Chain A
Amino acid sequence: MKKRANLRFLSEGAFKGLVKVLIKTFAVYGTTLRDGFPIYSRVSGPDELVLSMRPTALSAKEFLFPQREVLLRFDREAGTHEPVIEAEDQVIIGLHPCDIHAISLMDRVFANGIPDANYLKRRGHTVIIGTECLPDDYCFCPSVGTMTAEDGFDIFLHKIKAGYLARIGTERGKRLLAKALTRLPTDKETAELEGFLKKKEASFKVRLDAPKEDLPLIYAKSDQSGVWDKIGAICYGCGSCNNVCPTCYCFDVVDTVKADLIHGERARVWDGCTLEDFAKVAGGHNFRKTRAERLRHRFNRKFRYLSDVFNALFCVGCGRCSRTCLVKINIAEVTNELIREQKSGK
């Protein structure tokens, strides 16, 4: 993957200079620390960025699929609807490989069938600058094939001692990187990168006990597993897992009317399949009544249902759902439990 021709060395100073240039023409967001926790936020200068660290609590999906996004504005008196499709030119700095994979999956979801203009416009206006990361106790990206990203970014920055090795992913990335002083990396620098990646892969504490290709079938055979009732019994149904997941894209559509009762807007807001009303229809029937059924649905969406459609796992191994879960339901442990059940023929 590390084709040297695609790599450029970029000093820390040159990187900072590039960020300053980007801030002039783009809204720049990046990974920073707030109260010691890694988050994405708007940055006004390169010194605010903290790169190459552990995963952020929230994913970067909000930049492409905001938690609340206006779709239409209407005038109830005139009976008119005006479509709203907004986007700003933005750069997101600090996306980890798992998040880059997640965005590639979201791209496919929103472009599939009737294209979703709102998402795709934002995506078209977004420059993605990925960075290397450090796993924590919840990360398991090597088990789902997302520890490295081959594409899906404009520029990817590998941290090395002397600065960064920048990988170009798109023509746009190439044009942007041309604004910074770069040079070809030395053999020593590329060797340092190789060494880092080997060390990184070895440092993961959590692994799935089956190859990723087997996971859809393992889930398909686990519909009747007792695991669902076990985790359903402790789940609060709070939807935090849906909130933090970089590939959870389900939404509700909600109208709001201004105090004049004439003007208003139709917006989509994040929804979550683990919330009680998600599959409830008018009249009151709930197609997934229990938390166990709703969790089974969510886990299957990540490992089976969507892979049936898109031929890719929708879990990118970021561990966010496990990290945020109030009752410590851990997606890797649950999956390993299902794998164990299959192996023991239960």
Chain B
Amino acid sequence: MSLSVSKKAANNILSPYLPVECRIERVVRLTEKERLFSVAPADARLLGYAPGQFYMVGLPGYGEGPISITSGPGEGGEFELCIRAVGSLTDAVHRLTKGERLWVRGPFGRGFSVEEMKGRDIVFIAGGIGIVPMRSLIKAVAGKPGFGSLTLIYGAKTPDDILFGGEMQEWREMGVDVRVTVDTATAGWKGPVGVVTRILPGLDIDPTNTVAVIIGPPVMYKFVVIGLREKKVADSSILVSLERRMKCGFGKCGHCQINSVYVCQCGPVFRLTELSSLPEAFG
């Protein structure tokens, strides 16, 4: 059973922990907590990503963390990261400006298969920062030929927390039915108030030809799944992306494990039917 490791072969393996230098080309402040970074990698191989994949983004001295890719695939020599300042690493990244550097490994994980969505209606359901990876998928399909109707339901805490609000107008112009709801309205908010699941019943969904994609905080998934099942959407047509703590990105460090799968390898994108054997998935 044992695998013999030859000394010679082992000496020639490159370090999987060595990151690629990247230059920050633009920084846009989106909200009080989130900034959008346009980043040019020194190695173009980093740009060969699918929507839903992630990078390990690092700064020497602060460490690395898993960050979703928010740009669409094949958009040129840069990728975009939307980063929320929630700890020492992301706080430090927020202090960076144009021309400064980031160090990145990846892309990692299993993303969305856009091919599989061809010819089908797609309902995107995003909560909070879940819009960040969802944007990569939306950009991969919106305005592109071969897809059915596109609907985005996006829930934010307050109108001030809405990410990519300006861009959503462009998505509407490309034919995406964009519905934004907030948990708590502020003065001047004219849209709906309440959680994303309140939007679902009013949607006209063809369950035989719809793919639903859910990305949001842990608490959101169960309720959205119930709402989609009420709309008769089959579990095999529901895709989710799951967040976990990660330290390596390639199935060694153990942090992202859900039951017997590593999210960094088998996910972060899963089909709902794959989660039936993973009771901790929505933990």
Which stretch in B138-146, B152-160, B169-177, B244-252 binds the other chain? B244-252
B279 touches A72 (CB 8 A): no
A306 part of interface (Cβ distance < 8 Å): yes
A63 part of interface (Cβ distance < 8 Å): no
In the bound complex, residues from chain B placing their C-beta under 8 Å from that of A282 are 65, 86-87, 90
Beyond A251-B252, A285-B218, 16 additional contacts (C-beta under 8 Å) are A71-B15, A74-B60, A79-B21, A81-B60, A81-B103, A117-B15, A117-B16, A124-B7, A124-B9, A251-B254, A253-B17, A255-B63, A278-B255, A279-B283, A288-B283, A312-B1
Per the 8 Å Cβ criterion, residues 287-307 of A in contact with B are: 287-288, 293, 297, 300-301, 304-306
Per the 8 Å Cβ criterion, residues 1-40 of B in contact with A are: 1-11, 13-19, 21
A253 touches B10 (CB 8 A): no
A279 touches B244 (CB 8 A): yes
In the bound complex, residues from chain B placing their C-beta under 8 Å from that of A152 are 1-2
B19 touches A81 (CB 8 A): yes
A304 touches B244 (CB 8 A): no
Per the 8 Å Cβ criterion, residues 213-258 of A in contact with B are: 223, 249-255, 257
A112 touches B251 (CB 8 A): yes
Contacts A72-B18, A117-B14, A124-B7: A281 and B260 contacting too (C-beta < 8 A)?
Answer: no
Which stretch in A12-20, A27-35, A103-111 binds the other chain? A103-111
**CB-contact partner of A279 in B61, B245, B250, under 8 A:** B245
Complex Cα distance, B3 from A107, in Å, reads: 6
Interface digits, A257-283 against B, CB 8 Å rule (1 contact, 0 not)?
A: 100010010101001010000111111
Complex Cα distance, B255 from A280, in Å, reads: 9
B280 part of interface (Cβ distance < 8 Å): yes
Complex Cα distance, B246 from A252, in Å, reads: 9
B245 touches A271 (CB 8 A): no
Closest CB-CB distance, A175 to chain B, in whole Å?
A: 13
**CB-contact partner of A287 in B8, B62, B218, under 8 A:** B218
Closest CB-CB distance, B110 to chain A, in whole Å?
A: 13
In the bound complex, residues from chain B placing their C-beta under 8 Å from that of A201 are none
Q: How large is the interface on A (under 10, 10 to 19, 20 to 34, 35 or more residues)?
A: 35 or more
User: Across the two chains, which residue of chain B brings its CB closest to A111?
Assistant: B3
In the bound complex, residues from chain B placing their C-beta under 8 Å from that of A250 are 253-255
In the bound complex, residues from chain A placing their C-beta under 8 Å from that of B80 are none
B53 part of interface (Cβ distance < 8 Å): no
A253 touches B248 (CB 8 A): yes
In the bound complex, residues from chain B placing their C-beta under 8 Å from that of A305 are 257, 259-260
A249 touches B2 (CB 8 A): no
A115 part of interface (Cβ distance < 8 Å): yes
Closest CB-CB distance, B11 to chain A, in whole Å?
A: 6
A167 part of interface (Cβ distance < 8 Å): no
B101 touches A79 (CB 8 A): yes
Closest 5 CB pairs of A and B: A250-B254, A83-B15, A124-B10, A104-B2, A124-B7
Contacts A74-B60, A288-B280: A108 and B260 contacting too (C-beta < 8 A)?
Answer: no
In the bound complex, residues from chain A placing their C-beta under 8 Å from that of B13 are 85, 115, 117, 120-121
B121 part of interface (Cβ distance < 8 Å): no
Tell me the dominant secondary structure on chain A's binding face.
Answer: mixed
Tell me the dominant secondary structure on chain B's binding face.
Answer: loop
A96 part of interface (Cβ distance < 8 Å): no
Interface digits, A82-121 against B, CB 8 Å rule (1 contact, 0 not)?
A: 0111000000000000000001100111111111111011
B237 part of interface (Cβ distance < 8 Å): no
A110 touches B252 (CB 8 A): yes
In the bound complex, residues from chain A placing their C-beta under 8 Å from that of B279 are 223
A287 touches B63 (CB 8 A): no
Contacts A74-B60, A116-B16, A124-B7: A281 and B250 contacting too (C-beta < 8 A)?
Answer: no
A300 touches B10 (CB 8 A): no
**CB-contact partner of A266 in B7, B17, B217, B244, under 8 A:** B17
- Interface-centre pick from A255, A268, A305 (highest chain B CB count, 10 A): A255
**CB-contact partner of A253 in B2, B11, B63, B251, under 8 A:** B63
Per the 8 Å Cβ criterion, residues 67-116 of B in contact with A are: 84, 86-87, 90, 101, 103
A67 part of interface (Cβ distance < 8 Å): no
Closest CB-CB distance, A2 to chain B, in whole Å?
A: 18
Can you give 23 contacting A-B residue pairs, CB < 8 Å? A72-B18, A85-B15, A104-B1, A107-B3, A114-B251, A117-B10, A117-B16, A120-B13, A123-B10, A170-B4, A223-B279, A249-B254, A250-B255, A251-B247, A257-B60, A271-B247, A273-B257, A281-B245, A283-B84, A287-B245, A288-B280, A301-B257, A304-B260
Interface digits, B258-283 against A, CB 8 Å rule (1 contact, 0 not)?
A: 11100001000000000000011001
Per the 8 Å Cβ criterion, residues 50-92 of A in contact with B are: 71-72, 74-76, 79, 81, 83-85
B252 touches A249 (CB 8 A): yes
B5 touches A107 (CB 8 A): yes
User: Across the two chains, which residue of chain B brings its CB closest to A280?
Assistant: B245
A151 touches B63 (CB 8 A): no
Closest CB-CB distance, A64 to chain B, in whole Å?
A: 10
A194 part of interface (Cβ distance < 8 Å): no
